[in-house]
Structure formats: C-alpha cells, structure tokens
C-alpha cells in the first residue's frame, strides 16, 4: 500500500523481490494521496513498478479528511482481498490510515522504515510513525538506532527486523542509469559546481515570511554556485500566492518536480544539497554529498552522526556560512552505514516469505563496497552551531 512520492522509491525494490517469488501474489494499492503525473505515475514508470492494482483516488485535503477517506475506501477492499500481510511504507497519512484499517480487520501489518523518531510531536509525520509502529506486527528498521528506539518503546524484540534501508536499494539500482543520463551536463552544470535544493515541509513553506527568507537565502547562495530548486506542488502553490517569479533569479533555477532518476543524477554530482526532505538526508549520506537540512530536528540522526548531514536553522546568515564552508572543504570519503547495502528488500521478503529473522544483535554487515571508507562526522547538536 503506497500513496506519496517517497513511498514509491521504497516500494520498488520490495515489488521486484516479491515478483521473483512465484508462489506469492503482490497486490499494489495506491491511495492517490499524490496524484500529479510528476509526483506519481512517472515514478511507477521509471522505477519499473507494476501499475497499481487499485487506486483509491483520495487526492489532497485536510489531514482528517485525507486519512478518513483512505480508511473508508480501503476497508472494503482489504475485507475482500484478505491479504496475509499489508505492507505500509514510511510516515505519510496513507501509511497510518492503512495500518489502522488492517489492524482492525486482524490483518498482519508490516511497516517498512519502522523506528524513526524526530521527537517532534508538531510534525504530522511523527504522529504517523508512532501510531503505525504501535499497530505493526512486523517492524522493518532501517538502522540500529531505530531498533534501539523500538526496544525502548517496549516493542517485543521478535517483531523487530533490522533489514537496512530500502531507499538505498533503489539508489543502488538506479545510480548507473542516473549517471548515464547526466542531468547536470544537460543543464550546462559542471560536476561538483552546483547545489540542489528542495523544500516542502509545512513548517518551512506555509509561513510567507519563512518561505521568502529561505528563497532569498537560496538566491544568495546562487550568487556563489548555481542552485537547482525543483518545486513540490505545495511550495509552488505558496510561491504563486506570494507572487514570486517562477523564472528564478541570480543563480537560482526554479523548476517542476523532477523524476527519480533525473533527481538522483543531479544530486549525485552536486557540491551541496539544501533540503527538508527525509529521503535526501539518506541519499546524500550514501553518496557522500554534503547536505544541509533546514529543520530543528531529524528522525534520521544517523545521517548526522555518521553521514554528511547537518541540521541548520532557518536563518540566512547561518545557512550561508555553513553552505560556504561545505563548498570549500568537501571530503571525498563516502560514509558506510550498516545494512545500507542495497539488500534491504531481499531481507524483508525473506522475513515475509521464509520466516527469516534479522535481529539487531546479528553480526554487522559484510565488508563495505570498495568505493567507500567509513567516516564519522560531527554530532547534530554541534553541527547546528557550526
Ligand atoms: C506528504 C507527506 C510528507 C512527505 C511528502 C513528500 C503527510 C502528512 N505528508 O506531504 O511526509 O514528505 O508527502 O512529497 O502525509 N499536491 C499536488 N499534487 C500532488 C500532491 C500534492 O498538487 O500530486 C499539493 C496539494 O495542493 C496538497 C499539497 O500538495 O494540498 C500537499 O500534499 P499532501 O499530500 O497534503 O502532503 P505533502 O505536503 O506532499
């Protein structure tokens, strides 16, 4: 069951692994939370995900309406299908709505990307994470700290499987294609000579003063290196309300949301990423690209502790100071995170189909791939003060 752009990248490797199991029928339900072609259909196409068997077409709306509509439309479908397991992904409204329906119907719930916590109860995603994990029977954790969080919350250990990060499975699968596409070269950008920005969190884009300051910050950064800024529909709508010129200015280049492969290719050879996205914090860590996350917290602290991520406040002076430092001193090392090895979906399917178990106390993953060397960076608190 999927519903939004970041869900599709998580579904893709699991769908591929399940397709290889002839005895298993995998039914894909799309809630329709994201519905624009550029936010949805394009991803199914380029990630080679089979088209959804069912689309609930719920669209946008206030949280209660969106969540309620998904539950209302999913309940009869699940009651009819009676799957052995309902797999839900990530932390969006579609995730928690589907988990609620399945749990009440007595259907086993598997949560892919379990155990992430920002400890920020003002984020709708945090509420979705906590509730979904409480409802799940199988909790697929991407990292060791996520496993520890689940233990601390009292989840029975036998429900928790430390499988690794499915986003990295998709990244590994698509990277050769993304590099061959050379989206930077097609835009006349030199490798390592530009930045990529994305912003869509309500806390960053819904307040006009905050959004205008962030756009001004990116425009200022654009005076040093070109900044490509693909606009999420929410952000585009807010900018249109404010009468901001979509053609951009200085080095700031505003554009439509990009497809997964194009975005990956652009990020992979960028000098810097400025974002509030969860997935990009992970992808930049795996790629060794410096990432500034414009948030006071992250549910992915491992990307700050062992990766290339830095939390930055919304203030222009700090963002520019940290950005300029990151542009000046980039390490060529690529962090290696345990079980972020392109095999998370394989482990998930072994749990689902073979009854395998992946406890966190199992031996660490095999040797890192040859291009990588481990690196530990500053703690998020100190990074914030950089
Ligand atoms: C959702 C997730 C967020 C995730 C993000 C990724 C929740 C609570 N939030 O936020 O965790 O990081 O997706 O993109 O589930 N819109 C369109 N076309 C679309 C989709 C959205 O125009 O295809 C517009 C609508 O005006 C809508 C707004 O974007 O009101 C926000 O969409 P919504 O589904 O509410 O959440 P996101 O902000 O995308």
What pLDDT digit, counting tens, does each position of 320-375 carry? 999 999 999 877 778 899 999 999 999 999 999 999 999 987 545 554 443 333 33
Nearest to 297 by CA among 315, 279, 278, 282: 278
Pick the atom of ligand 1 nearest to 40's CA.
23
Whether ligand 1 lies within 6 angstroms of the CB of 4 is answered as: yes
Tell me the mean pLDDT in the region 13-18: 98
The residue whose C-alpha atom lies closest to atom 7 belonging to ligand 1 is: 92
Q: How many CB atoms lie within 10 A of CB 328?
A: 8
**Locus of tokens 């969006």:** 92
What pLDDT digit, counting tens, does each position of 65-97 carry? 999 999 999 999 999 999 999 999 999 999 999
What pLDDT digit, counting tens, does each position of 134-189 carry? 999 999 999 999 999 999 999 999 999 999 999 999 999 999 999 999 999 999 99
DSSP per residue over 228-258, as a string? EEEPPHHHHHHHHHTT--TT--TTEEEEPPP
| CA 199 / ligand 1 centre spacing (Å) | 12
Determine contact, residues 318/346, Cβ cutoff 8 Å.
no
Q: What is the pLDDT of residue 99?
A: 98
Nearest to 115 by CA among 142, 78, 92: 142
Tokens of 295: 């948030």
Nearest to 303 by CA among 76, 182, 169, 146: 146
Buried-state track 4-34, b at ≥16 Cβ within 10 A, e below 16: bbbbbbbbbbbbbbbeeeeeeebebbbbbbb
* Angle (nearest 5°) at CA 90 between 105 and 158: 65
| CA 339 / ligand 1 centre spacing (Å) | 29
Rg (CA), the chain: 20
The residue whose C-alpha atom lies closest to atom 19 belonging to ligand 1 is: 34
Confidence band of 197 (pLDDT split at 50, 70, 90): very high
Asked whether the predicted pLDDT for residue 248 surpasses 80, the reply is no
Instruction: Verify whether residue 161 is a known catalytic residue.
Output: no
Strand-pair category, 138-141 with 160-162: parallel
The residue whose C-alpha atom lies closest to atom 12 belonging to ligand 1 is: 277
| CA 297 / ligand 1 centre spacing (Å) | 20
What pLDDT digit, counting tens, does each position of 90-139 carry? 999 999 999 999 999 999 999 999 999 999 999 999 999 999 999 999 99
DSSP per residue over 27-64, as a string? --EE--SS-SGGGTHHHHHHTTPPPPSEE----S--HH
Asked whether the predicted pLDDT for residue 233 surpasses 80, the reply is yes
Asked whether the predicted pLDDT for residue 272 surpasses 50, the reply is yes
Whether ligand 1 lies within 6 angstroms of the CB of 129 is answered as: no
Q: How many CB atoms lie within 10 A of CB 80?
A: 7
Whether ligand 1 lies within 6 angstroms of the CB of 90 is answered as: no
Whether ligand 1 lies within 6 angstroms of the CB of 50 is answered as: no
Whether ligand 1 lies within 6 angstroms of the CB of 92 is answered as: yes
Whether ligand 1 lies within 6 angstroms of the CB of 237 is answered as: yes
Pick the atom of ligand 1 nearest to 4's CA.
13
What pLDDT digit, counting tens, does each position of 295-310 carry? 999 999 999 999 999 9
Whether ligand 1 lies within 6 angstroms of the CB of 241 is answered as: no
Whether ligand 1 lies within 6 angstroms of the CB of 41 is answered as: no
Which pTM value belongs to this model?
0.92
| CA 63 / ligand 1 centre spacing (Å) | 10
Q: Identify the active-site residue in 200, 232, 286, 306.
A: 200
Whether ligand 1 lies within 6 angstroms of the CB of 15 is answered as: no
The residue whose C-alpha atom lies closest to atom 35 belonging to ligand 1 is: 60
Asked whether the predicted pLDDT for residue 192 surpasses 70, the reply is yes
Alpha-carbon gap, residue 242 to 19, rounded angstroms:
47
Q: What is the pLDDT of residue 364?
A: 52
| CA 59 / ligand 1 centre spacing (Å) | 9
H or E segment and range at residue 134? helix 124-135
């Amino acid at each position: 069951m999927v519903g939004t752009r970041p869900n599709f990248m998580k579904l893709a490797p699991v769908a591929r692994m399940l397709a290889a199991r002839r005895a298993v029928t995998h039914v894909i339900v799309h809630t329709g939370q994201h519905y624009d072609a550029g936010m949805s259909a394009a991803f199914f196409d380029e990630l080679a995900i089979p088209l959804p068997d069912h689309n609930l077409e719920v669209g946008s709306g206030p949280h209660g309406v969106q969540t309620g509509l998904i539950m209302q439309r999913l309940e009869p479908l699940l009651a009819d299908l009676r799957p052995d397991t309902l797999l839900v992904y990530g932390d969006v409204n579609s995730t928690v709505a589907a988990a609620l329906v399945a749990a009440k119907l007595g259907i086993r719930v598997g949560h892919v990307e379990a155990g992430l916590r920002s400890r920020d109860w003002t984020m709708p995603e945090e509420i979705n994470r906590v509730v979904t994990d409480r409802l799940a029977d199988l909790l697929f954790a991407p990292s060791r700290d996520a496993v520890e969080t689940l233990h601390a919350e009292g989840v029975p250990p036998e429900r928790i499987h430390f499988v690794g990060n499915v986003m990295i499975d998709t990244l590994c699968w698509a990277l050769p294609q993304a590099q061959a596409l050379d989206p930077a070269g097609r835009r006349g950008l030199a490798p390592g000579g530009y930045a990529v920005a994305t912003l869509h969190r309500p806390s960053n884009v819904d307040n006009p003063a905050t959004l205008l300051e962030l756009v001004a910050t990116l425009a200022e950064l654009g005076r040093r290196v070109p900044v490509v800024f693909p606009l999420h529909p929410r952000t585009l709508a807010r900018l249109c309300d404010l009468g901001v010129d979509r053609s951009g200015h200085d080095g700031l280049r505003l554009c439509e949301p990009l497809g997964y492969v194009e975005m990956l290719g652009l990020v992979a050879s960028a000098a810097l990423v400025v974002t509030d996205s969860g997935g990009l914090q992970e992808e930049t860590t795996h790629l060794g690209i410096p990432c500034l996350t414009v948030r006071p917290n992250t549910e992915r602290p491992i990307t700050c502790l062992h990766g290339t991520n830095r939390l930055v406040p919304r203030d222009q002076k700090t963002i520019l100071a940290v950005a300029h430092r990151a542009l000046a001193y980039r390490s060529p090392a690529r962090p290696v995170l345990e079980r972020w090895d392109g095999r998370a979906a394989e482990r998930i399917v072994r749990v689902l189909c073979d009854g395998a178990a992946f406890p966190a106390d199992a031996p660490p993953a095999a040797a890192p791939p040859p291009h990588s060397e481990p690196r530990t960076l500053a703690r998020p608190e100190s990074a914030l003060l950089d």
